[in-house]
Structure 1
């Protein structure tokens, strides 16, 4: 039997932004990774907090990038939020939508009526990411929630990745209403809530799924909450310093520079690596020395820091280690 990491799982659930693509450009190697999984007979699913595209649009976008995808393989927070609202309110009920047209379409498809003003007397406010969201619709939302409308957020990602660096995400827009209303949303649907993960596993009849993401506070925490193994890839938001500082509920099973880690031995990615030396690196107490693959050094330091050595006490004792810690902001 293959010792490839992916061979130990019967479903791989990918996050999208920062894992498969950045905004609208594929991350190198992503298409090849998905095709290789399919060739090996491993089902895939895509679970995203981004509420600005519908499942069919996401599948079309992926396919256009050379990443094979079907609409029923895509689970997003817009569809999940609309489904929750349809369970709570009668057909035709007015729902104020803060977000992109995709979110309005999801609300409409479940039989509810998207509205845009407080005067429409919405029974709920659903808030998802949309690049055109501005003060006016946020004001209508604030008035509606204050009047008693249920406030549902598709997700609370503070940022979203881009080729130019992290940009404000839906969580930043939710924070505007949180500040104005001095309260939290009544419900957050997307990750780190486990629903997208458990639904993906259920649809595939998966008994041993693996979640792959780039964010510790959503992808990895959601997988931990769902009782699933997870792999952090360092192509998006969360970097080495954040991983080292992660509390137990945000610690992945594996870490890899990119999706190629799916096809290497699991023991080359497993966290933490509790050893004094590996792959040319050595850890002596809080001191890193040697040289080699940066991910191996990261795994060694996770073992050290997660076992109690304070992050701020890490030091370097070789030029390569010095450069690495500096690059990580340590």
Structure 2
């Protein structure tokens, strides 16, 4: 099997891993509502001894607002248990920009607070001669803010972004994320920003260090941010199928975006995950098995989620061996989460 493949656990994940780094949108909640399985699953994880840090690429809100929302949704959360991309972005500034410098902040109050707390003077206009521009998501920014950022960057300011998510899930479907908004300024200036949030590993390391984690587990729904970031941070990642990416996306994931575990939702934290194995040309997970032959993926047996797991192991091994998967023939795996 490929090294970048699924692994098993002989104990429930919440008993083996001491800290879970939990994404928010698409994992704990979607839009204004909690994902139904999330509050009881996270309560059970805490009861089993697992500590939680909620790690989000959303930089528009204060940590207090995030913890308050989670608590109101039945997931009691302290401010110290929240790590935002705004906080990661402010830390990134300290590595490149002198303390006390003027920084043009394009984003929400959470980002302005974090940048101020890091020792910078926040300005709102290119006329204030900022030495840096940092851009984070806010539903309220528009042309005027993009223009100020463009003027400042053309004037010599360095360009930073809290994250580069191209989309974000809402209760009405997918909406443009910070990456899409950052692309406006990047196209106007020809400058690619340094980014702090997922999939960069810094946020994962910061969150794990906050609780002195010995065996952290990253949890997310997005392959290109949450799971890629887990790989970059050299941490096991759990993909839940409640958000942006689905089982079919997982089958086609490149090596640097593959999760170590896959589950329907957060309730799999309380479960033992079968160890994948290969016998002949078949990949086995539990009672499910899968193989790729002539570019076609064949799957049978077992539970729906074990079929997904076995299919991923087989598809990834085939891809790593140079075999092309015929995407149009990928089977329906009987998964509807």
Q: Does TM, scored on the shorter chain, surpass 0.5? A: yes
Whether 2:3 is the aligned partner of 1:3: answer no
How many Å separate the matches in 2 of 1:132 and 1:85?
A: 23
Which range moved further: 82-91 or 93-102? 82-91
> Structure 1 residues 323, 295: CA separation in 2 closer, same or farther (over 3 Å shift)?
closer
Find the partner of 1:72 among 80, 93, 98: 80
Q: What corresponds to 2:326 in structure 1?
A: 312
Whether 2:305 is the aligned partner of 1:295: answer yes
Q: What corresponds to 1:168 in structure 2?
A: 176
1:73 to partner: Cα distance: 1.2
1:83-98 equivalences under 5 Å are 83-86=91-94, 88-98=96-106
1:174-253 equivalences under 5 Å are 174-185=182-193, 187-253=194-260
> Structure 1 residues 282, 202: CA separation in 2 closer, same or farther (over 3 Å shift)?
closer
CA RMSD after TM alignment: 2.6
**1:254–1:271 CA contact under 8 A, matched in 2:** no
Q: What corresponds to 1:261 in structure 2?
A: 268
**2:32–2:171 CA contact under 8 A, matched in 1:** no
1:246 to partner: Cα distance: 1.1
> Structure 1 residues 192, 322: CA separation in 2 closer, same or farther (over 3 Å shift)?
closer
Find the partner of 2:41 among 15, 33, 42: 33
> Structure 1 residues 278, 53: CA separation in 2 closer, same or farther (over 3 Å shift)?
same
Whether 2:134 is the aligned partner of 1:126: answer yes
How many Å separate the matches in 2 of 1:112 and 1:204?
A: 27
SS of residue matched to 2:159: strand
Uncovered stretches (5+) of structure 1, i.e. residues with no partner: none
SS of residue matched to 1:151: strand
Calculate the TM-score normalised by the size of structure 2. 0.87
1:277 to partner: Cα distance: 7.9
Which range moved further: 122-131 or 158-167? 158-167
How many Å separate the matches in 1 of 2:233 and 2:333?
A: 37
Whether 2:75 is the aligned partner of 1:61: answer no
> Structure 1 residues 272, 224: CA separation in 2 closer, same or farther (over 3 Å shift)?
farther
User: 1:259-298, CA deviations, whole angstroms, 9 ceiling, x for partnerless residues?
Assistant: 1111111217x69995268546665732435466332222
**1:287–1:314 CA contact under 8 A, matched in 2:** no
The total of aligned residue pairs comes to 321
SS of residue matched to 2:238: strand
How many Å separate the matches in 2 of 1:311 and 1:281?
A: 17
How many Å separate the matches in 2 of 1:73 and 1:214?
A: 19
Calculate the TM-score normalised by the size of structure 1. 0.89
SS of residue matched to 1:166: strand
Q: What corresponds to 2:122 in structure 1?
A: 114
Which range moved further: 207-216 or 306-315? 306-315
How many Å separate the matches in 1 of 2:21 and 2:155?
A: 39
